[in-house]
Structures are given as structure tokens and as C-alpha cells.
Amino acid sequence: MSTGRRVTWGLVVFAGVAVVLNLVGVAADSVSRSHVVPGPDGSSHVTTGNGLAAYHDLLVAAGHPVSVLSAPIRPGTLDPSTTLVIASPEEFALDERQVDLIGDFLAGGGRLVLASTTFFGDLATTLLDPAPRLGPAPPPEVTALLPVPETAGVATVATSGLYAWKDTGAALPIVGADGVTVVAVASIGRGRLVLLADPALLSNAFIGTNAHLGLAVAGEPGRPIVFDEYVHGYGSDSAITAIPPRWRAALALLLLATFIWLWSIGSRFAPAEPADRVFPPARGLYVDALAASLARTPDRDMSMPTTPRP
């Protein structure tokens, strides 16, 4: 297989994979416009039981301006007058720089609602030390423990019965029962950190019962709300770019490996035959060339004696 043909086949395969990915993206976009929108837990786009789409709609109905963050947190991204909601983030979604900026956001008066079964080490060191520690599972229903703004109008809270804290560390326990806590708060600078042991408290499955809790932790009426969707892999409205960054990198490496494989197997074959047969020069051309060569050769001196043979 010739080099040109190898390159051609490589480009064909690359184009084919790109077409397949685009078709998958179109299908995903089509699904996202249907009644049920699947996706990662804690996402405000998702309408399944573990999503937060209903909470998003509740905040909008209550008069909160709601927006979505689809890029990493960078300087100037967060406005301290807003409430940032981070629910069930991916493990490596928040790097050290983003955590530092969240700390600055809280110190300046921002509000963070962090709903996660795990409390990241960087967050614990930067925002809250000591951090809460998971404990026994909570009962199906818990109650408000203290009269703070985050429990205004809250009598009971329905839980999934899966996650709770036995120790809230430097945070103040405000919702719980039977010696465990599911919601805690902490003041950081001029801001407020609201911690939920289980993202299910605000999920589509429980927000109908926990609506008062959802509105109370969001802050005062009219406060802008920002859902961090970058932590779920949503980079934009496109389904292709919504693929988590590590998955996109893996796909790129797969495409590169496929191209190299096609190139390598091409070298196992002999070169392709020429498209046209190559014939020797015509006899007339040969005769003309010989005549021209003789014409350039000087004549011999015939007057010189020759030695007879014995």
C-alpha cells in the first residue's frame, strides 16, 4: 500500500469516527429535548430521580434569577452577591486554584450550597477545618435543630436514608435526628457555607417534600443562583462538548492510535503497480541518438601505416 493510500484510508477512518460521534451528539441532543433527561447525579439539567431539574425550576418560580456555569471557575467568574450550588461533583472537577477562588468568593460575601457525600481534602483545608465526618445512616425523616435562616419554614426533612454526619467538624449542625446531621452551616468571612451530607435532599425525588429547605438554603428572596454544571462535565450546550474532559482525551488518543495502526499495517504490503505500463524508447529515437553521437566523433587518420599481421 502506497504512502498516499495509507494517508487516504486514515483520513477516511477519521472522518467516519467523527461522523459517528456527531450522530451520537445529535441523538443525545434529541433525547435532552424529550420529557426525560438522563445524566449525572446532581445536575440541574437532569430530570431523573437524582437530578436537580425540579430544584432549578422551584428557584425560578420563587423569583430567583438562575444561571448555569459551564466553564472552570476563574478569577472574576463568581459574584459574591450570588449563591453557588455544587451538587455531586466529579472527583477531579475542582482543582486547587478553583478551591482558592471559592474561598475568596465566600470571604467576600458569597454563599455556597455544597451537596456531596464526600468532602474534598482541598475544600476541607481551604474552607473548613476540621471537616465533617460521615456517620451512621439517618432516619427517613429528620427535623430542624436550630432556628437559623437556613431552617426558616422547615419543620421536617425527608432523607434517602443513606448519608449523614456523626461529626460536623467546624460547621454548625442545623438539621438532623438521632445523633446524626444531614445539613450544617458555617460562616466564612462575610459569606455562608451550607453543607448537605446527601445531594438527594434537593433531588427531584425529594424536593417536593423538602421545598422549604431548598428555598431557605438558597438565601434571601431574589438572590441570583448559579448551578455549577462544569463539575458534571457540561462544557457547553453541545452534547459532544458535554463529554467529560478525560473522556474526550481518551477519544482523541483512540483516534490517533487508529491512524497509527492503519499506517503501520500499510507498510506490510508491496508497493502498488504503476497505473500505466512503461515502454522502452522507440527504435527511431535510438538511431537518432547513435547518429548524433557518431557525428560528434572525429574522423580517424587513415594515412598512418599499419603493422601487418605475421
Asked if pLDDT for residue 31 goes beyond 60, the answer is no
Mean pLDDT of 21-38: 60
End-to-end CA distance of the chain: 67
Asked if pLDDT for residue 259 goes beyond 70, the answer is yes
Select the more confidently predicted residue: 32 or 224: 224
Measure the CA–CA gap between 138 and 180, rounded to whole angstroms.
Answer: 6
Q: Report whether 41 contacts 195 (CB < 8 A).
A: no
> Looking at residue 33, what is its pLDDT?
47
> Looking at residue 237, what is its pLDDT?
44
Mean pLDDT of 59-80: 94
For 46-55, 140-149, 203-212, 290-299, which range has the lowest pLDDT when averaged over its residues?
290-299
| Residue of 64, 2, 70 whose CA lies nearest to 229 | 70
Measure the CA–CA gap between 132 and 125, rounded to whole angstroms.
Answer: 12
| Residue of 60, 82, 42, 78 whose CA lies nearest to 219 | 82
Asked if pLDDT for residue 288 goes beyond 60, the answer is yes
Percent residues over pLDDT 90 in the chain: 47
Cα 115 to chain centroid, rounded: 19
Compute the mean pLDDT over every residue in the chain, rounded to the nearest whole number. 81
**What does the pLDDT look like over 190-217, one tens digit per residue?**
999 999 998 899 999 999 999 999 999 9
Amino acid at 298: P
Q: How confident is the model at residue 94 (pLDDT cuts 50, 70, 90)?
A: confident
Select the more confidently predicted residue: 129 or 200: 200
Give this prediction's pTM. Answer: 0.66
Mean pLDDT of 66-86: 94
> Looking at residue 62, what is its pLDDT?
96
